[in-house]
Chain A
Amino acid sequence: MKSSDASRLTLILLFTPFALWIILLVILPQIGVGWLSLREKLGPREYAFGFGNYLDFFREPIYWNTLLRTAWISVLVTILALFIGFPVAWYIAKIARQRSRAALFLMCLIPLWVSDLVRAFGWILLLRETGIISGALQWAGLSSGPVELLYNDITVVIGMVYTVVLFMIVPLVSTLDGMDNALLEAGYNLGGSRLTVFRRIVIPYAMPGIVAGCIITFMLAAGSYLTPILLGGKNSMWFTEQIYEQFVTRYNWESGATFGVLLLVFTSGVVWLGLRLTGQNLASTVAKE
């Protein structure tokens, strides 16, 4: 009896930091933001309760266009990250020798040791009109004048793929690592072509990893702030930038909170849709043992 009490106490003590973290830093702020989003501002120090902030969002095309734009670019980033990440993960998990595997994995991790901000500035140095790539092109005679590669949507996509691709590689490597090579051999022995083996064996096996990677990269991309702001140009609006503007430069916390809730709901909706379309669920992907 006593020992079970002790083990229960241990469990409670171990669980407490996690519970506090979830309640104080995730659930309570979410409730606060949700409540704030339902408060309508009538005038200085005058507030009412209602859905006016949400109606405002749908009445103003700039806002939902920005949200759709953010979602669309994030989906593009996710797809590109998958196409770039899969061969890398395949190489690390299946082709590389055991000894070099750790080194390769480490090489993927190293860029993450530098902050997002510094990496974004790295891209700026490379891509700006007087930057390294523009200079190299002129030196090689491929371009007659300086080339501006910064300040457009393509740059934003490149910068974000670079930032998030690691979060695609890690779940893919861990899934592919568990795949028995015998499965592939069996596929070939039964007369499957490379394409068939890839489509019928590798992809279904890797699906949980692919979906988990896609969810993480999509969420990271949609919620990123620095990369789109620093690399984007005069036309690039990003939804997180809208939220910042509402909170900070327009003193409009109510509408900023509304945007925050909408971003959460919208991205969750996209993830749900993705899970339905691929026939997966959260338990089989992100929470996989």
Chain B
Amino acid sequence: MTARTTLIARLLAATACATALCIGAAQAETLRLLTWGGYAPDNVIALFEKEYPDIKVEVTLSNNEEMVAKLRATGGAGFDLAQPSHDRIFAAQSEFEIYKPLDLTQIETGKMQANLLEAVKANTTIDGAVYAVPHQWGTSGLVVDVTKAADVKDWSDLCKEEHKGKTSMRLRRTILLGMGFSLGYDPFALYNDTAAYSEMLDKVADKMIACKSVIKTYWNGGDDLSTLLLSGEVVASESWDSTAFKLYGENQNLVYVPPASGALTWIDTFVIPAKGRADDAAYKWINFVMRPEIVTIMSDSTGAIAAVEGGIELLPEAKKAAVKLAFDDAAIANMKFFANIPPGLEDIEGKVLERIKAASGN
């Protein structure tokens, strides 16, 4: 879920895949990964292929929505391992049957952080079968230039008049939930009550439409966001923590702020697509990237925290400092885990997002 790839990255990935396809044709087995930008860095792939010379890794970079759309188009074929977030599995599986149950005996679940593993299992168990295990986790919150907008502490502060033309957000469901929390609702508790949830969304939409005059623009991807902040065009924005930690490495005034109403927490998982052809290789990859020495290399590339015991300690030094600066114990205790999205909910949210985008504000 880190640095959401821009189209450039996707194009590069596609080229890389095409090349890999030609080279790898002679190999015995291919592991086709469908994952986020940064989740399969070249150095990790090299180490993996050195240890398992008969497996060739092919990477396709994507995001939550596109992963589901891609797998849906083929009924779960074309990839052997995918990494959607934990709240995107239950509805997609119940509606489209695109994943297959995991064989937990093949995965070293003992190494994973117990509460995250339990949370993912609870969210992705259908008819007694578990469909996902956690890989990396992180939060969505705010990134703030402390010299210019230190007063931005919560989602709704992005709409403050004094920062007119200097704030940004991503027009997706995350900000709807954040604004909901900021307005005093608990969106996750309302998930199964469509009427109450729609009512909350109406309030959120009013707030967001009024907010449009303050917002400079909506950002689309991590690169977009980084440029806006590093150039100083924007002083406060909604952000993924991983992107914010990367920014902190370049400019120490850019700090990640978990919103007062709670940072929204996601867990990116491992799932096996329904028609995956290399389950063994997939399990090998899962166990491989959960090794402590690999976790550090991986976290350096993703900026997110691995779902293993002591994941924060295994972060590279610079990132560890940024995380410790951003999160005190209270902020960690206040984290809000994304709850399972019931089928149909995203359609309601989609309409609200369209309404916000179409509303005119200057």
Interface residue ranges, A against B (CB under 8 Å): 43-45, 60, 62, 65-66, 117, 128-130, 146, 148, 150-151, 226, 229, 233-235, 237, 242, 245-252
B216 in contact with A235 (CB, 8 Å): no
Known: A62-B354, A148-B233. 12 other contacts (CB 8 A): A45-B95, A66-B358, A128-B231, A130-B231, A146-B233, A234-B216, A234-B357, A237-B357, A248-B66, A249-B65, A250-B347, A251-B95
Contact A251 B346 (CB under 8 A): yes
The 4 A-B residue pairs with the shortest CB-CB distance in the complex, in nearest-first order: A250-B350, A130-B231, A44-B95, A249-B65
Decide if A117 touches B11 in the complex (CB within 8 Å).
yes
B188: CB under 8 A from chain A? no
Contact A250 B346, beta carbon cutoff 8 Å: yes
In the assembled complex, how far is the CB of residue A233 from the closest CB belonging to chain B, in whole angstroms?
5
Candidates A44, A129, A235, A250; contact of B360 at CB < 8 Å: A235
- Residue of A234, A237, A249 near B361 (CB, 8 A) is A234
Q: Count residues of chain B with CB under 8 A from any CB of chain A.
A: 37
A selection of 23 A-B contacts at a CB cut-off of 8 Å is A44-B343, A60-B351, A62-B354, A66-B358, A117-B11, A128-B231, A128-B233, A129-B233, A148-B216, A233-B217, A234-B171, A234-B357, A235-B361, A237-B354, A245-B354, A248-B66, A249-B65, A250-B346, A250-B347, A251-B72, A251-B95, A251-B346, A251-B347
In the bound complex, how far is the Cα of B220 from the Cα of A226, in angstroms?
12
A residues within 8 A CB of B66?
A: 248
A151, B65: Cβ atoms under 8 Å? no
Residues of B within 8 A of A130 (CB): 231-233
CA distance A6 to B26 in the complex (A): 41
Cβ contact within 8 Å between A65 and B218: no
- Count: A-B pairs, CB below 8 Å: 75
A117 touches B350 (CB 8 A): no
Q: Which of B205-222 contact A (CB under 8 A)?
A: 212, 215-218, 220
Cβ–Cβ contact A242 & B215, under 8 A:
no
Q: Which of B305-362 contact A (CB under 8 A)?
A: 343-344, 346-347, 350-351, 353-355, 357-361
Partner of B217, one of A117, A234, A246, A251: A234
Q: Are B347 and A117 in contact (CB under 8 A)?
A: no
Question: Which residues B59-97 have CB closer than 8 A to chain A?
Answer: 65-66, 68-69, 72, 92, 94-95
| B7 adjacent to chain A (CB < 8 Å) | yes
Say whether B8 faces chain A, with CB atoms less than 8 Å apart: yes
Min CB distance B244 to A, Å, is 20
Contacts of A151 in B (CB 8 A): 216-217
Q: Which of A43, A128, A130, A234 has the most CB of B within 10 A?
A: A234
What is the CA–CA distance of A180 and B118 in the complex, to the nearest angstrom?
Answer: 81
Residues of A within 8 A of B218 (CB): 234
Q: Which residues 253-306 in B have Cβ within 8 Å of A in the complex?
A: none
Contact B358 A62 (CB under 8 A): yes
Residues in B whose Cβ lies below 8 Å from that of A235:
212, 357-361
Query: What string of 1s and 0s marks CB contacts (under 8 Å) between B215-253 and chain A?
Result: 111101000000000011100000000000000000000
> In the bound complex, how far is the Cα of B234 from the Cα of A234, in angstroms?
14
